[in-house]
Amino acid sequence: MPVQETRLIFKHIDAAGYTNDLDCYLRHGGYEILRKAVQQKPEELCEEVMKSGVRGRGGAGFPCGMKWKFLDRKSGKPIYLICNADESEPGTFKDRQIIHKDPHQLIEGILISCYAIQAKTAFIYIRGEFPEGARILERAIEEARSKNLCGDNILGSGYSVEIFVHRGAGAYICGEETGLIESLEGKRPYPRIKPPFFPAVLGLYQCPTAVNNVETLCHVKHVIDMGGEEYAKIGTPGNSGTRILCVSGHVQKPGYYEFACGDLTLGQLIHDVCGGLRPGRSLKAVIPGGSSAKILRAGERYTGKLKDGSSFDWGLEDIPMDFDSLMAVGSMAGSGGVIVMDDSTDMVEALANINAFYAHESCGQCTPCREGSLWMKKITTRMSHGQARQEDVDLLGNVADQIAGRTICAFGEACSWPTQSFVLKFRDEFLNKARAQAGAASTNGNGAVPLI
């Protein structure tokens, strides 16, 4: 049975005649929820968000309501909201759609969130690679200001807030919230040590700061619209709301799709939603939550117990696409970027490609990530180019083990999880590569496209 999309955030995206200007947004009921929100008490809004259980859509899946609850409201310092529009996790392209095609939804979400946490200033940190997106947002903010939806005394509520767009310049690390804050402060985006620099207490300019993903802030709008309890009915307990999944790689219909969390399995996503694999090809592996998520290999079986105590026994294609299920199988839902690989893929090269990304993007601040990410890149690149050694397989795994859990920020995990999972799950392929190279020059058995 084909699964149905539940389009909440993407309700109007790609709809015929829907444009990204304010008039269109207003025609579709835009800013009515903001109007409703500013008549409520801020703490009531926070309570609704808490009740909704909505989890962050940027990658870590941390409950938004908790994040806001941690804000230090007693310090007397201004509270800032930062919208993380750095969308930098490879395989992810959902925020791009929101920003380009429905920017006012985001602006409304930001305004409601600002009011809820009583922030007077919000910054949208948008990746440098979205110049057009930045212009669209600037224009949307100006449009909102012209209708008194933003700026001084919005909608006569007595509440004032400014939103500014701040462009990055090509650094994955700026997706890490404290790296982003440093970047916004005009410094090298070196993530801060936590403790003591938790953004909720010592964030932007050492003031309490909430950093939320674009999609998350859009969800806030819908939470306030529906009420937290009603929103929580979408999806499954602990995985409330809808989830935007971005599918890329070797499927017939790559793209972005929105489902109630847990509504579909990975198999349904690949075969029913994305039209299956290319003709004549079979599934080899899937990275389910952006390139840092641990890879899943076709044919694997996953057994264990879920948080609610129920046991599961899944094949790759049975895994429900929600936070908890993907965690239960040893990977993560992350940013929702699903990268599908068919049997033409050379896994050593695929890992070399990923490692090149992380070596390029490591900020270089702390030792394990700085040196480990480049080392892993050097090893896998060498292996891809004909000089693989049997011992490289264990060495790679061990280098990765020396990074994860020992760094300042989550980049340590992000750069080591791919290596850890690739060498664990495709150990045979890595070893075969070394063996084959020892005897012959040709290494790419499938004649597939080069990846490094």
Partner 1 sequence: MTAPAQTDLVTVVIDGKEIAVPKGTNIIEAASRLGIEIPHYCYHPKLSVVGNCRMCLVEMGMPMIDRGSGKPILDDHGGQKIGWMPRPAIACATAAVPGMQIRTTTELVKQCREGVMEFLLVNHPLDCPICDQAGECRLQEFATDYGRGYSRFIEEKNVKPKRTRLGPRVMLDDERCILCSRCIRFCQEVPKDDVLGFVDRGSYSTLTCYPGKQLENNYSLNTVDICPVGALTSTDFRFKMRVWFLKQTPSIDTESSVGANTFVWAREGKIYRITPRRNDAVNDTWMADSGRELYQQVEAEDRLNACHASGKPVPAPEALQAAVALLKEGKTAIVGSARASLEEQFLLKKVARAAGGAPVHLVAHTGEGDGLLVSADRTPNLRGALLTGLIDTLPPASLEALGAAIDAGEVQTLVVVREDLLAAGLTEAQLERVRIIHLDTHRRPGLERAAVVLAGLTVFEKAGSFVNQQFRVQKFQKAVPGPGGAAEDLFLLATLAAELGGESMPSTPASVWQAMAAEIAAFRGMTFAGIPDDGVVVEAGRLAELPFVEGESLHYKPAAEAAGV
Partner 2 sequence: MNLKPETLAKIEAVIPRYPVKRSAALPLLHLVQEDAGYIADEAVEWIAAKLDLQPINIYELVTFYPMFRRKPGGRRIIKVCRTLSCALAGSYKTAEAFKAAFNCGLDETSPDGEVTIEFVECLASCGTAPVVMIDETLHEKVDGERARALAVEIRQAGGPASAPTA
- Interface positions with partner 1 (CB under 8 A): 171, 188, 190, 193, 195-196, 359-368, 370-375, 378-379, 382, 395, 401-403, 405-408
Task: Confirm if 103 and 136 have CB atoms less than 8 A apart.
Answer: yes
Taking CB under 8 A as the criterion, the residue among 184, 218, 270, 283 binding partner 2 is: 184
Cα-to-chain-centroid distance, residue 113: 19
Q: How many residues bind partner 2 (CB under 8 A)?
A: 62
Taking CB under 8 A as the criterion, the residue among 141, 223, 354, 403 binding partner 2 is: 354
292 part of the interface to partner 2, by CB under 8 A: no
337 part of the interface to partner 2, by CB under 8 A: yes
CB 444: neighbour CB atoms within 10 A?
Answer: 16
Which of 235, 209, 225 minimizes the C-alpha distance to 6?
A: 235
Choice between 61 and 189, CB closer to partner 2? 189
Taking CB under 8 A as the criterion, the residue among 51, 69, 73, 100 binding partner 2 is: 100
Long-range CB contact pairs, 75-79, < 8 A, 24+: 75/201, 75/207, 75/208, 77/206, 77/207, 77/208, 78/119, 78/120, 78/121, 78/207, 79/117, 79/118, 79/119, 79/120, 79/207, 79/208, 79/209, 79/210
Choice between 341 and 379, CB closer to partner 2? 341
Tokens of 218: 């859009």
Closest separation in Å from C-beta 383 to partner 1:
11
268 part of the interface to partner 2, by CB under 8 A: no
Angle at 81 between CA 78 and CA 82, to 5 degrees: 135
Helices 391-401/427-439 angle, 10° precision: 140
Query: What residue 395 binds from partner 1, partner 2, none (CB within 5 to 8 A, per partner kind)?
Result: partner 1
378 part of the interface to partner 2, by CB under 8 A: no
Closest separation in Å from C-beta 69 to partner 1:
16
List CB contacts of 5: < 8 A, sequence separation 6 or more.
257, 258, 259, 273
Residues 305-334 that bind partner 2 (CB under 8 A): none
131 part of the interface to partner 2, by CB under 8 A: yes
Taking CB under 8 A as the criterion, the residue among 12, 55, 67, 96 binding partner 2 is: 96
Single-letter amino acid code for the residue at 1: M
Phi-psi region of 235 (alpha: psi -120 to 50; beta: other; left: phi over 0): left
Which of 319, 311, 303, 323 minimizes the C-alpha distance to 238?
A: 323
Phi (first) and psi of residue 29, to 5 degrees: 85, 15
129 part of the interface to partner 2, by CB under 8 A: yes
242 part of the interface to partner 2, by CB under 8 A: no
Residues 105-124 that bind partner 2 (CB under 8 A): 121
Instruction: Tell me which residues touch partner 2 (CB under 8 A).
Output: 87-93, 95-97, 100-101, 121, 127-133, 164, 166-172, 183-189, 205, 246-250, 254-256, 287, 291, 337, 339, 341, 345, 350, 353-354, 356-357, 360-361, 363, 449-452
